[in-house]
Chains A and B, each alone.
Chain A
Amino acid sequence: MLAFLIRRLVQSVVVLLVVGAVSFGMFRFIGDPVNNMLGQERTQADIEQLRDRLGLDRPVFVQYALFLRNAVQGDFGVSYRQGRPVADIIAERAPATLELAAVSGVMALVFGIGLGVLTAINRNSWASSAIMTLSLVGVSLPTFLIGILLIYVFSVQLEWLPSFGRGETVDVGGWSTGFLTQSGLIALILPAITLGLYQMTLIMRIVRSEMLEVLRQDYIRFARARGLRERSINFRHALKNTLVPVITVTGLQMGSIIAFSIITETVFQWPGMGLLFINAVQFVDIPVMAAYLMLISVLFVSINLVVDLLYFAIDPRLRIERAKA
């Protein structure tokens, strides 16, 4: 197990170094960083100073190392468009994205697993087939169309929910949260559904098919013969054994939630990191793009590592197999 862990760790570091190289390459070779960062009013002394600070006269590898050192310390440079440190801008935007992602993630997990179990147990009821048909639509509809559809129904026609923004936010120790105000909570509903729907349907379909598989096994029949209650059989015996594939998919989907938040945030003009990134792409604001890319990859890599670790925690068979090999 230790060897496996070390191999995964090395792989993760390689991924991060590659992403760092891409970010550095963008920063260094697209346009002239000095021109981009200083703007119109600059003196020769400013140029020299910045050149020196970025180490532009040194070998490329040294520059890369400098770039990585700054990045690790949270210094991603200054946004070309806003003229402020990228780290500040991102810190300001992060709470919006993280709150949205957390709510959609929890929603996707709870409803996904719940509906998956229900449709597997009551396989032949009309409600199950209705849910399955609906989920097919959920998987194939593009995210942004779901968002527009929700806005049309709940904001334009019914006028129940707001169509853009976060509502009122409260500042708690530098973290602006929308959880504490009514308008903040209401504003979360539509974006969270838009973002979580795809993940929810995916989790539901996997839980359902795994459950159907497991419910056919002998030990379930045996548990039933022993006279255990249905609820205990379904949740303690069956659901537990479907969890490995569910965790793989859920873990990887947590990454996609962050990525798809770019789309959801654009539809709902949600002031998070995704909207920041898409604006950066539109205006070629390289430092912001580079910083977002590196943050996202750290996130993805850690999620993948955690998923790997969870395998061991959940499936004892894996521990034995790896120990032998």
Chain B
Amino acid sequence: MIRQFAEFWQSDFGWKFRHSPTAVLSFVVSVALVMAAIAAPLIAPTNPFDSASLNLMNGFSAPLQPNAFTGELFLLGTDDQGRDVFSTILYGLRVSLFVGVLAVLFGMVLGVTLGLIAGYVGGRVDGFIMRVADIQLTFPAILVAMLIFGIAKGIIAPQYRDQMAIWVLIIAIGLSDWVPFARVVRGATMVEKNRDYVQAARLIGRKPVAIMVLHILPNVLNPILIIATISLALAIIAEATLSFLGVGAPPTQPSLGTLIRIGQTFLFSGEWWILLFPAATLLALALSVNSLGDWLRDALNPRLK
């Protein structure tokens, strides 16, 4: 482990990383936010969803000012129901990242599979898959995701809607961003399938699925990491947007977008902290992941070396 880390540190890639302040900063911020999300139950002072621990008297406490009635102190203040804003942000971060990561994974698996098939099989199958991709690209991803969410809402019985909302979001966002993965993998596969090693594998009688998965896939994986990182930033923003519009994570399981939606209602009454802190967290998350993706793209692009 340590030896591998040292190797990475000494490599070209490691050198580039160390010498880019943007990369280091965005990496540190991303990792810190992910850690905070994972460890939310340990760090959060209260569990915002345990109604027994809530005290309505604590409502609308300003950040770092003792509450007028109870004298309790909250780092980032509380909302109208006396929930600690810091804790809700930690739990919201958890939901946002969970949805974002799973949605990208889902889109990635789907896109890579379809891209491999399209590139390797070619012909009509390729034409069909790429046409579907073209049609989908005509529409902005966020619109596609909204539509899928609406359809799912119509199919799922009302009493299960809140429980299922997170999974519907994951599928909706995942289905809306498979195209870039499929395009890149298809292009790379079409190059790789004529290489000698693939011909050799075919000659010794390996099945097409084995050739695709075991031989071609490892050789087309490099660009996928870059697309995945950029997709993650887009997925986090898409999730926040959907939740903000009220067609995403439910108030019982709020993500950062839901928190911003709630906070917006207090914009005019002066409780700025209920809105500001979730918004700043979302911004930090989206910006750091996005610039990490941009940096990866530049650093791994052989043409820019």
Contacts and interface: CB of A to CB of B under 8 A. Distances in A.
B286 A140 contact: yes
Contacts of A144: 240-241, 244-245, 260
A289 B147 CA distance: 8
A156 interface: yes
A131 interface: no
Chain B facing A: main interface SS: helix
Q: Which of B140, B150, B153, B260 has the most CB of A within 10 A?
A: B150
B213 interface: no
Given A142-B241, A156-B268, A259-B139, A280 B150 contact: yes
Contact of B143 (A163, A262, A286): A262
Given A26-B154, A145-B282, A259 B290 contact: no
A281 interface: yes
B37 to A, nearest CB: 19
B245 A262 contact: yes
A162 to B, nearest CB: 12
A224 B135 CA distance: 45
A22 B143 CA distance: 14
A148 B275 contact: yes
Interface string B239-259: 011001111000000000000
A284 interface: yes
B267 interface: yes
Contacts of B247: 278, 281-282
Interface string B72-87: 0000000000000000
B129 interface: no
B287 interface: yes
B142 A259 contact: yes
A259 B138 contact: no
A304 B138 contact: yes
B155 interface: yes
- Which 8 residue pairs are nearest across A and B when measured between Cβ atoms? A30-B154, A281-B150, A259-B140, A284-B154, A259-B143, A142-B237, A144-B244, A281-B247
5 contacts: A15-B138, A30-B151, A141-B283, A255-B138, A260-B140
Given A281-B146, A281-B147, 10 more contacts: A140-B286, A140-B287, A142-B241, A144-B260, A148-B279, A259-B140, A259-B143, A262-B146, A266-B244, A293-B147
